[in-house]
Structure 1
Amino acid sequence: MELTVYLAGQIHDNWREEVKEKAKSKNLPVSFTGPMENHDRSDNIGEEILGEQPDNIYKDEAASKINNLRTRVLLEKSDVVIALFGEKYKQWNSAADAAAAVALNKPLILVRPKELHHPLKELSERAQVTVENTDQALQALSYIFE
């Protein structure tokens, strides 16, 4: 059995690469997908497809529609979602992806530090597992294969 894992969460650091490397070192039969990590591409995709927009609000809305399409398709094809909420960056996309995973009835592993317990309490209640770091998330994922 191989699982597809959608890695939702902050895009301004290399946590996804670290998770992929650790999963590989554990020989976990998983493949990974996630949001567009090229920030410029994500911001400009609406205009690339639909043409120049009249202002930044329309540009953002056009890009959001295309990014939401991509995210929805990849989330629906995933078996498990790992959503990382860190302390450093605003987490709007993480929240949206995690909420979408819940709405699509996808198993969710929520990664968040203790300091974010209160703002994420409702989402944590909907997750199958809430952990404090990606190593714990990988341990939970590993347990599936035992």
Structure 2
Amino acid sequence: MELVVYLAGQIHDDWREQLRKKAEERNLPITFKGPQENHERSDDIGERIKGRQPNQEFRDQAASEMNNLRTRVWMEKADVVIALFGEKYRQWNTAMDAAVAVQSGKPLILVRPEGLIHPLKELAQRAQVVVETPEQALDALAYVLE
């Protein structure tokens, strides 16, 4: 059995790459998908596909359309969603992706630091598993694959 796992969460560090490497080291049959990790490409994709936009608002909207399409396609194909909330950045996209996963019935592993227990309490109640590190999320997936 192979799992497709959607990695929702901030794109400002390499947590996804670290998780991929650890899964590979453990020979876990997991395919990871997620948002565009190249921030510049994510911001530019709307104009690259639809052409130059008249202002920043339309530029952001065009990029959001493309990024939302990507997210929806990969989340629908995913067996599990891991949503990582970090301390440093506002996590609007993570919250939205986690809510979509819950709404669509996708199993959700919520990764959140101790400092975010209170603000994420309702979402945590809807997740199948709540952990504090991506490595713990990987351990949960390894258990599923036993």
Alignment TM-score, normalising by the size of structure 1:
0.96
> Unmatched 5+ residue regions in structure 2?
none
Counterpart of 2:136 in 1: which secondary structure? helix
Count of equivalent residues: 146
Once residues 33 and 123 of structure 2 are traced to their aligned partners in structure 1, the CA distance between those partners, rounded to angstroms, is: 21
**2:26 paired with 1:26:** yes
**2:45 paired with 1:45:** yes
**2:128 paired with 1:128:** yes
Residue in 1 that maps onto 2:96 = 96
Once residues 107 and 96 of structure 2 are traced to their aligned partners in structure 1, the CA distance between those partners, rounded to angstroms, is: 15
Once residues 77 and 107 of structure 2 are traced to their aligned partners in structure 1, the CA distance between those partners, rounded to angstroms, is: 12
Once residues 41 and 16 of structure 2 are traced to their aligned partners in structure 1, the CA distance between those partners, rounded to angstroms, is: 18
Counterparts of residues 1-146 of structure 1 (less than 5 Å): 1-146=1-146
Counterpart of 1:27 in 2: which secondary structure? coil
Deviation at 1:86, TM superposition (A): 0.7
- 1:6-49, Cα deviation, whole Å (9 max, x unpaired): 11111010100111111111111111111001111111111111
Deviation at 1:129, TM superposition (A): 0.4
RMSD (CA atoms): 0.9
